[in-house]
Structure 1
Amino acid sequence: MKRRDTIDCSGSDTTDTLMALRIASIFIIYIAASLGALFPVLAKKSKFINAPKSLFDFAKYFGSGVIIATAFIHLLSPALDELGSPCLSEGWSEYPYALALCLLSIFSIFIVELVAFRWGTSMLAKIGMHHDAHGHDIGSHAAHGPEGNMMDSAASSTGAVLEDVEAFPDSSSSVSQTMRPHSEKDQSGKEGHHQQPSPHSHQILDSAISQVVGVGILEFGVVLHSVLIGLTLAVNEGFKVLFVVLVFHQTFEGLGIGSRLAYMNLPQKYNYVPIIGAVVYGFTTPIGIAIGLGLRTVYNPNSPTASIVSGVLDSLSAGILIYTGLVELLAHEFLFNKEMMESSNARLTYALGAMLLGCGLMALLGKWA
């Protein structure tokens, strides 16, 4: 921790050095972040980009590692420093507020998901549908195919968007095929249709809403972090090193968000949602940089107010990403995923290696940013 007499707690750095590069960083980081977030989404939707499935699997697991490392190294650690700043009153040092806020965030997300799960399960029971949270008794595609994805998303507001989808048929046809609660074949071999259309419509709407809410929670934590680091970059004295690091930082983080957006399995009319999510992410850090440049003569990142605001937001964001990373990504992708548990050692090693690579690279960037 820095000594109080070695940092400026009242004034601000009003230097205009490297202003041209600072302004250019708005556009450079925007391009890097947007490419990272948009590429998985557009590659999945485009017929012209013939990317192999293994590439998407790598991006997904790599992105999971990035999100987990972001939570601990790029959010929780700075929050501890910010709320333990010597510029704050002594009361802030008497309790680990950053850890407490992070814990509050984790349990808040858990309670929200728990309530949504119970409500969704109850709704499914009323229309005669069975829900298995982890897909253990629905078959190998329960956790990875559109069938499992749609049923999970109706019960969980945050879990559905993070389920791995192996098959991506046209959304309108896949939804109509997978959401018939009691469809069965008659003696002639033709499929009989359920007579009540209302559960079908309810499931489509519920699936879309729950997936949008789920990815919104994930992106909310990342967006707060991106705006704050953009604001810091604009007024930081060590701009050159931080700028280079943040280009890679935002690209990797964008890849993590983009890979999750790409795996959303929505009805046709909601196909624009992943693209909007990627575009919004691309703008966040540039917006922070622009705000920082506009306030560079009055904003001091070491001031008590700035430390408190940044520390609180970083702590809450860390809790969101910790819960999402450990529960929704690690647990659901590996432990509760029947297909992954029954896969070959080579595939499991590949998935773990990609995840650890993403986590390791993002954690390494924490040395400079």
Structure 2
Amino acid sequence: MAITCSTVIIFIFLILFTIFSGQVLSQSDNSTKSILEECRPESGSCNSNSKALPLKIIAIVSILVTSMVGVCLPLLSRSVPALQPDRNLFVIVKAFASGIILATGFMHVLPDSFDMLRSPCLPENPWHKFPFSGFVAMLSAVGALMVDSITTSIYSRRSSMDVKPAEIEVADDEEDNRDREMGVVISSGVHFHGHCHAPIDTTTSGDSQLLRYRVIAMVLELGIIVHSVVIGLSLGASDNTCTIKPLVAALCFHQMFEGMGLGGCIFQAEYKFLKKALMAFFFSVTTPFGIVLGIALSATYKENSPSSLMTEGLLDAASAGLLIYMALVDLLSADFMGPKLQRNIKLQMKSYLAVLLGCGGMSLMAKWA
């Protein structure tokens, strides 16, 4: 009887084990098949090279035009008195553009990097064992801090060395003469109360601030260009007409608002006309250039291949670190902790609202682009 009961228990266990193992194997087979399907090039009714090519040409023209409009609007604001850098409206518009750049880093670039470097098309080791996106973004932000700090430090040291020794000696002699005159007055029994105001040289501090604006503009453009090329490359290599159509519209708004943020920084940097034109030109053509490059490489470029995923993921992570650092430290923090906004609570609240609007609008676009 005991043998019969144990036999029945073992038999039931074997049946349950067989059923369970069969389900596990079928699930693993299904997951393997789904991974393989996901890593293969897209196919279906939406995929057509002949239909996608006209859409890509439209994307090149429309993105180029909207990028130029966005980056040139702040540069043309010198003719508009209300948009001068010392006016409140300029501060609010700059806060809005800074919110756009911040949301671009957090909501567009960094999530794309995580998706690419966590893709099942990449090997488990090391890409799924370590958060490379966050690590590269962190190193990129620290690198931007180093460039910002070292450049400002070198310039400050050079400015202090430019002070002539003769000027220092003259200043010392004048100070000694004033001390001797004070001694004579005091020894004669006359009560004297005076204030000596040495002239303050604001040239050095103004030049240092201008240098920071120029470093901000250059580093910010670098981060935006890297991301723009990656976006254009992905769009140019894709033949999915169902995704290209909404992506083009979203990228037009994306590039225009991002260009407004960059254009404001270029405007404050006070470059000469040629350099302003070159920076605006390079920003405007990077995404169309990426699309053209993607079209040219569409025969060899595989959207879900390990090499393309690793390259785009790491570049996006580096770009995200640059954009987040520049938006938080050099744009938002510099303005909100500055004297203009600290003295005006009403303007500060308006600027916070502008930042939230910029972040919210660009975050909403993350649904399509």
* Residues 149 and 306 of structure 1: CA distance in aligned 2, closer, same or farther (over 3 Å): farther
**Of 141, 150, 155, which residue of structure 1 is paired with 2:207?**
150
- 2:230 corresponds in structure 1 to 228
- 1:138 corresponds in structure 2 to none
- 1:349 corresponds in structure 2 to 349
Letter in 2 for 1:96: P
* Residues 308 and 260 of structure 1: CA distance in aligned 2, closer, same or farther (over 3 Å): same
Question: Normalized per residue, which structure has more helix?
Answer: 2
TM-score w.r.t. the length of structure 1 is: 0.73
**Of 263, 272, 278, which residue of structure 1 is paired with 2:268?**
263
* Residues 149 and 333 of structure 1: CA distance in aligned 2, closer, same or farther (over 3 Å): farther
- 1:290 corresponds in structure 2 to 292
Unaligned runs of 5+ in 1: 130-141, 155-159, 162-210
- 1:24 corresponds in structure 2 to 58
SS state of the match for residue 7, structure 1?
A: helix
User: How much has 1:23 moved relative to structure 2?
Assistant: 1.1
**Of 150, 153, 156, which residue of structure 2 is paired with 1:121?**
156
User: How much has 1:256 moved relative to structure 2?
Assistant: 1.1
CA deviations on 1:74-103 (whole Å, 9 max, x unpaired) are 111111111111111111111011111111
SS state of the match for residue 86, structure 1?
A: coil
CA contact (8 A) 2:216 2:326 kept: no
Letter in 1 for 2:121: C
CA–CA separation in structure 1 for the residues paired with 2:285 and 2:93: 21
CA contact (8 A) 2:66 2:252 kept: yes
What is the RMSD of the two structures over their aligned residues, measured on CA atoms? Answer: 2.6
User: How much has 1:54 moved relative to structure 2?
Assistant: 5.0
CA–CA separation in structure 1 for the residues paired with 2:267 and 2:305: 40
CA contact (8 A) 1:218 1:324 kept: yes
Letter in 1 for 2:343: E
SS state of the match for residue 308, structure 2?
A: helix
After TM superposition, the structure 1 stretch with the greater mean CA deviation from structure 2, 106-115 or 93-102, is 106-115
CA–CA separation in structure 1 for the residues paired with 2:132 and 2:291: 27
Q: Does 1:83 pair with 2:117?
A: yes
CA contact (8 A) 1:66 1:253 kept: yes
Q: Does 1:8 pair with 2:36?
A: no
* Residues 90 and 10 of structure 1: CA distance in aligned 2, closer, same or farther (over 3 Å): farther
Q: Which has the larger radius of gyration?
A: 2
Unaligned runs of 5+ in 2: 1-31, 165-199
User: How much has 1:57 moved relative to structure 2?
Assistant: 3.2
CA–CA separation in structure 2 for the residues paired with 1:146 and 1:64: 28
* Residues 147 and 342 of structure 1: CA distance in aligned 2, closer, same or farther (over 3 Å): farther
**Of 97, 104, 129, which residue of structure 2 is paired with 1:94?**
129
- % of aligned pairs identical? 32
CA deviations on 1:128-151 (whole Å, 9 max, x unpaired) are 49xxxxxxxxxxxx9xx9875423
Letter in 2 for 1:112: V
- 2:143 corresponds in structure 1 to 108
User: How much has 1:9 moved relative to structure 2?
Assistant: 4.2
User: How much has 1:28 moved relative to structure 2?
Assistant: 0.9
SS state of the match for residue 263, structure 1?
A: helix
